[in-house]
Amino acid sequence: MSITTKFNRVKMGLESIRYSRGKLEVLDQLLLPLQTKYIKVDGVEDGWKVINKMQVRGAPAIAIVGCLSLARELLDDNSSDKKVMRQEIEGKLNYLVSARPTAVNIKLAAEELINLSNRLSADELVTPEEFKEVFIASIENMLTRDIQDNKAIGQHGCDAILRNLEGDGQVRVLTHCNTGSLATAGYGTALGVIRSLHAAKRLEHVYCTETRPYNQGARLTAYELVHEKIPATLIVDSMVAALMHARSISCVIVGADRVAANGDTANKVGTYQIAIVAKYHNVPFYVAAPFTSVDASVASGERIKIEERPDTEMTFIGDKRIAAPGINCWNPAFDITPACLITGIITEKGVFAPDKLKDLLFQ
C-alpha cells in the first residue's frame, strides 16, 4: 500500500502527492480543474521542474515533493562512498531550494536533511546502505508529519475561532489562495481549519477569492470545496471590501509561505490588502501554518525574498491573451502582512499572538 493511500483512509480530500518507495507522482495543478492528470517525478531534475512551473505548489507540498524527488533519485544510486553521497545530497538539496525562493519549508527541510547526512557520513558505524535507508525513511516521514500537523492546526484553529465567536454561533470565513489537500500532504492548513469547522457543524459558509493571477482560489480551492461539499462562494479579489461590508464575515483564515520571527507573514499576493480591509471592518485575521513555515533566522518580513513570476501569468489565461500587447507588468507572487494586522497564528502547537512567536522560537 502506498504511504499516501494509507493516510487517505482518514478524510483528507484530494491527493496531490502519490508516493510509494521508488514511485513519485504529483497531480498536475496547472490542468485543474478541467483535467486530473498525474505526472511522474523520477528524480531531482523533475522535482525542480514541477515546483518551478507550479504544477505542484503550496509551501508544504513544495518541500515534500522536492525532498521526495531526492529520495526517489537516491534509491537508484549505488554509490558506496558516503562522503560522495553526502556531497551530492547537499548540492541537490540546494538546487531544489532554488526552484521557488519565498516558501521557507523546503529550505528548512533541506537544512535538516543536510545535517542528517553530515551525521550519517561522519558515523563510522553506519554503512552506505544504512545511510541511504535512514535518509530516505526520514524524507518519507515528512508525509506523515505534515498530515499530523495539519490535523492539529485544524483542531486548534476550530477551537480558537469558536471560543472567540460573537453573534449567532455560525462561522462565515473568507480565505485566499489555496491551502488545502492540494497544497500539502493532505487535509490542509487554513483549509484544514475550515474543514474542522465544517466537521464540527459550525461552518455556515466559506468565501474564497479568485486569487489572481494564477487563480489558485478559482481553480483549486473552489475545486476542493465543491469536492468536499462545503458550502462556498467564489468572489474576485477586488470584492473583499464589498463582501465584508455586505455580509457578516466571522474571520479570515489564510496560509503562509514564511513567517518571520516577529510574526510578519509572507503569503500569496493580495493577503496584505485583505488584512487591511479586515482590520477596518473589525474582522479577526488568522494565519494557519505549521512550524515548518516559521523562519527564526529572519527577524521581520522586510528580510523575506519575494518571488517575481513571469509576465505571461498576468497577460494570458491559458493560451488566451487578455492584456494589451506591449504593456509592462509587475508580478510579485507574494506580499508581506505585518504582524500588527494578524489576530493569531494557528500552528500545530496552538494559536499564538504574533508577538508571542519569538518566545516559542528562542526558549
Q: Which residue is nearest to ligand MRU (CB)?
A: 255
Phi, psi of 195 (to 5 degrees): -60, -40
Of the residues 257, 264, 295, 335, only one is catalytic, namely: 257
DSSP, collapsed to helix, strand or coil, labels residue 321 as strand
In angstroms, the CA 76 to CA 22 distance is 9
Q: Which amino acid is at 101?
A: P
> By CB under 6 A, is residue 347 in contact with ligand MRU?
no
Which CB sits closer to ligand MRU, 189 or 209?
189
Contact between 214 and 313 under an 8 Å Cβ cutoff? The reply is yes
* CB-count burial class (<10 Å; 0-12, 13-18, 19+) for 204: middle
Of the residues 26, 41, 50, 103, which one makes contact with ligand MRU according to CB under 6 A: 103
Q: Select 179 or 347, whichever has its Cβ closest to ligand MRU.
A: 179
Helix residue ranges per DSSP H, 98-221: 105-122, 128-163, 190-199
Q: Minimum CB separation from ligand MRU for residue 293, in Å?
A: 7
State the minimum distance, in angstroms, from the CB of residue 154 to ligand MRU.
12
Q: Which of 110, 117, 268, 284 binds ligand MRU (CB under 6 A)?
A: 268
Whose Cβ is closer to ligand MRU: residue 189's or residue 262's?
189
Kind and range of the H or E element at 330? none
Does residue 257 belong to the site contacting ligand MRU (CB under 6 A)?
yes
Q: Among this protein's residues, is 159 annotated catalytic?
A: no
Q: Which stretch binds ligand MRU (CB under 6 A): 4-12, 57-65, 117-125, 336-344?
A: 57-65
Judged by CB under 6 A, does residue 51 bind ligand MRU?
no
3-class secondary-structure state, position 117: helix
Task: Say how far apart CA 155 and CA 147 lie, in whole Å.
Answer: 12
Q: Which listed residue (121, 179, 250, 262) binds ligand MRU by CB under 6 A?
A: 179
* 267 is a contact residue toward ligand MRU (CB under 6 A): yes
Which residue number, 55 or 117, has a Cβ lying nearer to ligand MRU?
Answer: 55
Q: Which neighbouring-strand residues pair with 175?
A: 208
Least distance CB 65 / ligand MRU (angstroms): 11
- DSSP state for residue 22 in the 8-state scheme: T
User: Closest distance between ligand MRU and the C-beta of residue 216, in Å?
Assistant: 5
CA atoms within 13 A on the CB side of 215: 15
CB atoms within 10 A of CB 257: 28
Residues annotated as catalytic are 257
Site for ligand MRU, rule CB under 6 A: 57-60, 103, 177, 179, 183-184, 189, 216, 255-257, 267-268, 333
